[in-house]
Chain A
């Protein structure tokens, strides 16, 4: 089961906006609106940041937003802050044999 493709790293200065891409195929991202994004700080459990492509759970900052176009989903972090430095993973439902797949992960660095 191939993982969704993410850039290995993205960086930005405090206050800037960055976007992380997550590329799949028509049987996962392109076919369903079940894309989630997770933030993981070192040594910690992941935390849900976005679900169903663009919805934010209660308590998640509105600086985080999600979108999708075709087979690619995106997570945008605006007003970048030091606390946003972490690993980010996308995840999607897939109609293939294994029904859920994660992305390869992106390390966000705040310069």
Chain B
């Protein structure tokens, strides 16, 4: 069965960076992309970006340009999302999800990133 398992919770100081991992199993990793979505406490879903596992093409939300980097390791079937220059309003649960910019199907369990001094 398709599974996306994410790395554990992180606590970071303002200005630092965080890198979240998403390990996929149960399907041919290179046939799909990975989207990243975040959800601030009590708020809705926010699409962050997408990376194609078959050719490393990426597409990011305009508001995060220059701060977010998405990468893929096809040897370990793991996707990574790094967010730099963290601010308090980056505190959120970060999800990875399989799919493309047309929509996603399977989701990871989420990773809580807390930004606090």
Contacts and interface: CB of A to CB of B under 8 A. Distances in A.
Interface stretch (A18-26, A42-50, A72-80): A42-50
B104 A36 contact: yes
B29 interface: no
Given A1-B61, A99-B59, A100-B35, A46 B45 contact: yes
A98 B65 CA distance: 10
A102 interface: yes
B38 to A, nearest CB: 11
A48 B104 contact: yes
Contacts of A47: 107
Interface string A29-52: 000001110101000011110011
27 contacts: A1-B62, A1-B63, A3-B44, A34-B103, A45-B95, A45-B110, A47-B107, A48-B103, A48-B104, A48-B106, A51-B103, A52-B103, A89-B44, A89-B45, A91-B47, A91-B103, A91-B104, A93-B101, A98-B61, A99-B59, A100-B35, A100-B50, A101-B47, A102-B45, A103-B44, A105-B44, A105-B45
